[in-house]
Amino acid sequence: MIKSLNKTLLLLMAVFNCQSISAQEKNPLDKIDLTKIMMHLDWAGMAYFDDQNNAVDPTKNEGRVVFMGNSITQGWMHYMPNMFDNQTYINRGIGGQTTSQMLLRFRQDVIAHKPKAVVILAGTNDIAGNTPLRDLETVAGNLFSMAELARQHNIKVILCSVIPAKEYPWRKGKRPDIKIPQLNKLIQVYCNETDIHYLDFFSVMTDGKNGLIESYGYDGVHPDEDGYKVMTELVEKALDQLLGG
């Protein structure tokens, strides 16, 4: 009985080994060291602004403000290049990023420049599911962690509401018209409790149905020049109040 069982186990092992070899032969990745590749992946975009960060003059931080965000922040520089000189106003927006990624690069892209203030505008890509969405409380927590890191380094904080979006053209069915107002409420309550400046883009830019005013954007999510003009006016006013300008 034992000998028979041993023979059966040996036979199964042989079959398994043959199947494994066959599978490996058919696997196009069998000669690629995935561990090394994963080590070189820059999920959070830590190297994205290496050149720009190296060009920042640490002696010219009077009135310096860093803008942290995603494509909406990044696009701001495209429409208004004269606004962001990489010294006084520093743009650190990366298209497609979520709050988890921004939190990881916050020290090098914000704190290291010793700004007087940081403007944080993020969360819409979390709702879109660019990285797995756990819940809105987690997204808000990432924003709050960035704010608290900044305050620990004597950096004043502006936490922005997420701008309105009725639908994501690239990822439908995520209901940003419902989730963005919910996230904004979490941000606003936190700001009220911690005496952080809450900048409400949403109320000024909504079409009344939780979507973006058509003339303020080109795809219902991202602002156009008119949208950025509105945002610039609001953020300049907030910075004047915050920095006593």
Question: What's the pLDDT tens digit per position in 129-163?
Answer: 999 999 999 999 999 999 999 999 999 999 999 99
Q: Is residue 116 domain-shared with residue 29, that is, in the same domain?
A: no
In this prediction, residue 223 carries a pLDDT of: 98
Q: Write out the residue range of the structural domain in which residue 34 sits.
A: 2-40
Q: Is residue 21 domain-shared with residue 140, that is, in the same domain?
A: no
Mean pLDDT of 32-56: 83
In this prediction, residue 60 carries a pLDDT of: 86
Q: Is residue 92 domain-shared with residue 13, that is, in the same domain?
A: no
What does the alpha-carbon distance between residue 52 and residue 96 come to, in Å, rounded to a whole number? 19
In this prediction, residue 12 carries a pLDDT of: 47
State the DSSP H helix or E strand holding residue 105, giving kind and residue range, or none if neither: helix 99-109
* Domain annotation covers residue 25: yes
Whether the per-residue pLDDT at 17 is higher than 80: the answer is no
Whether the per-residue pLDDT at 5 is higher than 50: the answer is no
Q: Give the HSE-up count for residue 60: Cα atoms under 13 Å, Cβ half-sphere.
A: 9
Cβ contacts of residue 193 below 8 Å, gap of 6+?
A: none
* Domain annotation covers residue 50: no
Mean pLDDT of 73-83: 97
In percent, how much of the chain has pLDDT > 90? 81
In this prediction, residue 28 carries a pLDDT of: 62
Total domains, the chain: 2
Q: Is residue 36 domain-shared with residue 64, that is, in the same domain?
A: no
In this prediction, residue 2 carries a pLDDT of: 43
CB 133 within 8 A of CB 126: yes
Q: Is residue 82 domain-shared with residue 146, that is, in the same domain?
A: yes
Q: Is residue 160 domain-shared with residue 98, that is, in the same domain?
A: yes
Q: Is residue 27 domain-shared with residue 137, that is, in the same domain?
A: no
In this prediction, residue 73 carries a pLDDT of: 98
**Is residue 9 very low, low, confident or very high in pLDDT (cuts 50, 70, 90)?**
very low
Instruction: Return the CATH number at 129.
Output: 3.40.50.1110
* Domain annotation covers residue 35: yes
* Domain annotation covers residue 52: no
CB 222 within 8 A of CB 75: yes
Crossing angle, helix 136-152 and helix 176-194, to 10 degrees?
30
Q: Is residue 6 domain-shared with residue 62, that is, in the same domain?
A: no
Higher model confidence: residue 197 or residue 37?
197
Whether the per-residue pLDDT at 22 is higher than 50: the answer is no
Higher model confidence: residue 59 or residue 11?
59
Average pLDDT, the chain: 90
